[in-house]
């Protein structure tokens, strides 16, 4: 049994993956479910105790590093992560409505991204029975997301933005802005605001 699990997540067994590039490193202690639905580009690293549950589709770009205890859960949707990204410990990324992450994105520990939201308007119907919105989340290139950030459905985070630790992002973030708070507001700019 243990040897079968070790072989299952060994990247040298390329037939078990949707696609796998060169120089991919996957810890033998990572949990990978439905590897046929996963595309790993060159030089991806997936560390021990990370959890990839993929009943949709997962694409991880070149030189991207998934740290221990990060969770990527597609829930029949798609998670696409660009090149040269870092997903630090205890991040939880869902794919329900679609999650697209650009290149050079830095995501600190305990970030949670949820590209879906419960509908709860009718108090006479249990929330569970009212369905979900699934607009998706997009994070553009060169974004830094501080520790403990929560990003909600329907949000686009602009290129070059910085998100302060502990923020809740419930609306779009402009390019090169610095945002923080609950809910997050613009607190500074990395480049002169052109608006």
pLDDT digits (tens, 9 = 90+) for 11-66: 556 677 889 999 999 988 999 999 899 999 999 999 999 999 999 999 999 999 99
Q: Is residue 131 part of a domain?
A: yes
Q: Is residue 183 part of a domain?
A: no
Q: Is residue 134 part of a domain?
A: yes
Q: Is residue 154 part of a domain?
A: no
Cβ contacts of 45-48, under 8 Å, gap ≥ 24: none
Report the pLDDT value the prediction gives residue 5, as an integer from 0 to 100: 39
Angle at 86 between CA 83 and CA 92, to 5 degrees: 115
Model pTM score: 0.89
The CATH number assigned to the domain holding 63 equals 2.160.10.10
Report the pLDDT value the prediction gives residue 135, as an integer from 0 to 100: 96
Q: Is residue 158 part of a domain?
A: no
Q: What domain range includes position 76?
A: 2-140
Report the pLDDT value the prediction gives residue 93, as an integer from 0 to 100: 98
Gap between the Cα atoms of 135 and 55, Å rounded: 19
Q: How many CA atoms lie within 13 A of 154 on its CB side?
A: 7
Report the pLDDT value the prediction gives residue 38, as an integer from 0 to 100: 95
> How many domains in the chain?
1
- Length of the chain, in residues: 195
Q: Is residue 61 part of a domain?
A: yes
Report the pLDDT value the prediction gives residue 192, as an integer from 0 to 100: 75
Report the pLDDT value the prediction gives residue 17, as an integer from 0 to 100: 83
Residue ranges of the chain whose pLDDT lies below 70: 1-14, 193-195
Cβ contacts of 19-22, under 8 Å, gap ≥ 24: 21/62
Report the pLDDT value the prediction gives residue 18, as an integer from 0 to 100: 87
**Cα-based distances in Å from 17 to 23, 46, 63, 86:** 14, 14, 18, 22
Q: Is residue 184 part of a domain?
A: no
Q: Is residue 188 part of a domain?
A: no
SS (H, E, C) the chain: CHHHHHHHCCCCCHHHCCEECCCCEECCCCEEECHHHEEECCCCEECCCCEEECCCEEEECCCCEECCCCEEECCCCEEEECCCCEECCCCEEECCCCEEECCCCEECCCCEECCCEECCCCCCCCHHHCCEECCCEEECCCCEECCCCEECCCCEECCCCEECCCCEECCCECCCEEEECCCCEEEEECCCCCC
């Amino acid at each position: 049994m243990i040897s079968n699990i070790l072989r299952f997540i060994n990247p040298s067994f390329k037939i078990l993956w949707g696609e796998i590039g060169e120089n991919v490193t996957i810890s033998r202690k990572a949990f990978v479910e439905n590897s046929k639905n996963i595309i790993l580009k060159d030089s991806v690293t997936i560390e021990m105790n990370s959890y990839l549950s993929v009943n949709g589709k997962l694409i991880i770009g070149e030189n991207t590093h998934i740290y221990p205890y990060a969770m990527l859960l597609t829930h029949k949707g798609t998670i696409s992560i660009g090149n040269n990204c870092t997903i630090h410990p205890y991040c939880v990324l869902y794919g329900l409505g679609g999650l697209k992450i650009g290149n050079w994105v830095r995501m600190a520990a305990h970030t949670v991204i949820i590209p879906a939201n419960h509908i709860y308007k009718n108090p006479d119907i249990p929330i569970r029975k009212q369905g979900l919105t699934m607009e998706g989340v997009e994070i553009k290139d060169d974004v830094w997301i501080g520790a403990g950030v929560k990003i909600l459905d329907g949000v686009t985070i602009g290129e070059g933005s910085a998100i302060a630790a502990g923020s809740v992002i419930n609306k779009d973030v402009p390019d090169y802005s610095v945002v923080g708070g609950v809910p997050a507001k613009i607190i500074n700019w990395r480049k002169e605001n052109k608006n």
